[in-house]
Amino acid sequence: MKKGLALCSALAVVFALGGGVSYAHKDATGIVKERMDLMSGIAKSMKSIAQMVKSGEVDAHAARAAGKRIAEHASEIASLFPEGSIEGDSEATPAIWENFEDFSKKASALQAAAQSLADTPVDSIDRQALAGELQNLGGACKSCHETYRQKKG
């Protein structure tokens, strides 16, 4: 029962990540658009992992590749939030720059969680293992978004 609840929670986080993405990007420009595009890339990879878990059709190579993409994107997050880049359609909260060290640590936690999946041996990736990795990734996203993201639109 706990595993089922954890899986449902992880899937809910993943599907919530993509909500409103196209609206938010509509008028974004410059660094704000760059980071929104990066976050959309992360959400797309998360959704591909979630779909594997949901369907039970796990492609271990694709899961590892998604983990690698997320890790690469996560390594860029902090650099896409220079001081003062909150204008326009940004979903960033001022708390990012008030506590940039914590924000950067949360981005690093996402990178580490994603790298864990990318480094998992192919023969060790089954639905249950992937669900655990998804839960870790979703938790890393959620821990940052709770404090540092405001939904618009």
Q: Which residue ranges make up the annotated binding site for heme c?
A: 141, 144-145
CA dihedral 42, 43, 44, 48 (to 10 degrees): 100
Contact 110/137 with Cβ under 8 angstroms?
Answer: yes
Alpha helices (runs of H) in 19-123, residue ranges in sequence order: 21-25, 30-55, 60-74, 95-98, 100-119
32 close to 90: Cβ distance less than 8 angstroms:
yes
Which residues make Cβ contacts (< 8 Å) with residue 138, sequence separation at least 6?
Answer: 9, 10, 13, 14, 46
Task: Please say whether the beta carbons of 130 and 63 come within 8 A.
Answer: yes
When computed from its CA atoms, the radius of gyration of the chain, rounded to whole angstroms, is 15
Q: Exposed (0-12), middle (13-18) or buried (19+): which is 103, by Cβ within 10 Å? A: buried
Pick out the residues of the known binding site.
Answer: 141, 144-145
